[in-house]
Amino acid sequence: MLAVAPRISAVPQRPAGESRYAVIVFALALGGFAIGTSEFAMMGLMPNLVQAFGVSEPQVGHMISAYALGVVVGAPVLAILGARLPRRTLLLAFMAFYALGNLATALAPTYATMLAFRFIAGLPHGAYFGVAMLVAADIAGPARRGAAVSQVMLGLSIAILLGNPLATWMGQVLSWRYTFALVALVAVITVAMIARHLRSVPVDPDQSPLRELRAFNTSQVWLTLLIGAIGFAGMFCVFSYLTATLTHVTGVSDGWIPVALAVFGVGSVIGNLAGGWLVDRMQFRATAVILIWSALVLVVFPLAAHSLWTILPAVLAIGTMGALGPALQTRLMDVAGEAQTLAAASNHAAFNAANALGPWLGGLAITAGLGWTSTGYVGAATAVAGLLIYLWARRDDNRSGGVLLADQAQR
């Protein structure tokens, strides 16, 4: 496959001034904060949902998987359906949809309806992030593209750092329903900010769903997505059952659960910033470094889980696996050609395929009697599998004289 120059916008925008850039990126990141809080809240609210619906922890894991499946389905479908619409319109529609999906979640009366509403809430997740990344990269200009992607994703990391512990605390003190009502409110605020500050840019009149699909169907796009879907599953495998591990293995009180989730969030922020730093210096090779690191920290997790003072550093380290996000998102911008929107949205579909795969594999290991800490070993195996896919992608690209060789020539 020959290298294809990235096509960030159908109708390029000028790089924004500093103040306008900051406001727009903040608005986009605020939407990411709403999405991240809703997505990861299920892990911290697991005991509350077990009690509320009379189900087991693995059954709550199915709620996590239902949301992730919604992302996997919604990201490419909504990106294709919106191919002819301005990106501002898409962002407003996706975030309004997200507000409604989370409001429905807050009002869910039964386990079955909760599963359905989590699936529905997940539909706009990947499409929103995909379009938001492209808008941020566009207004930032080529010199700040990596930083712009990292800054929008920082909303997701801060959700893990602050939103998730807040959601867990609200579940313990008030009700889990307040968490999703709060997410709906933040989503509405995001809609208002985007409507106020982001200008509408006309789309390329030649842009069409078929054009995006044709450009999307390349080996490097698919292999990059597969790295995310497999290699990132380990983080979700451990994190989905972290609350149960802290309770049943580490033996801590419920008060420590928000602390552990906040520690994970600190790791996520560090990982997000480190991922952007690595990509600027190593390009796609940063992916291999992150996956090797991921396998190491995941295999250590079972050994660290028996003491509070060792599990907290392990949780911090697992949070840094979020560095994979900027690495793969930037890679897709380089290889997707004219399928920028579809590829960017599909990246989050891939990560949420990991979010579905990780809890499912972890649940299988736990149900088989291997214990709560087996999630670390299962997760390490998926990180190694992701590394093997990276090597496949690198060999495929080197053999065809593609983007990796161009990366090396630039250094």
Please say if the pLDDT value at position 2 is more than 70: no
Q: How many residues does the chain have?
A: 411
CA distance 204 to 185: 33
Which has more confidence, 255 or 372?
Answer: 372
Residue 270 belongs to what domain range? Answer: 18-410
CA distance 149 to 80: 21
Whether 13 maps to a domain, the answer reads no
Which has more confidence, 98 or 218?
Answer: 98
- Provide the domain count of the chain: 1
| pLDDT tens figures, 225-239 | 999 999 999 998 998
Q: Which of 8-22, 123-137, 193-207 has the lowest mean pLDDT?
A: 8-22
Whether 51 maps to a domain, the answer reads yes
State mean pLDDT over 13-41: 80
| pLDDT tens figures, 274-296 | 887 787 777 788 899 999 999 99
Whether 6 maps to a domain, the answer reads no
**CATH number for the domain harbouring residue 49:** 1.20.1250.20
What global pTM score does this model have? Answer: 0.74
Whether 2 maps to a domain, the answer reads no
Which has more confidence, 188 or 354?
Answer: 188
CA distance 114 to 120: 10
Whether 304 maps to a domain, the answer reads yes
* Residues in CB range of 388: below 8 A, 6 or more apart: none
Which has more confidence, 336 or 226?
Answer: 226
State mean pLDDT over 26-33: 92
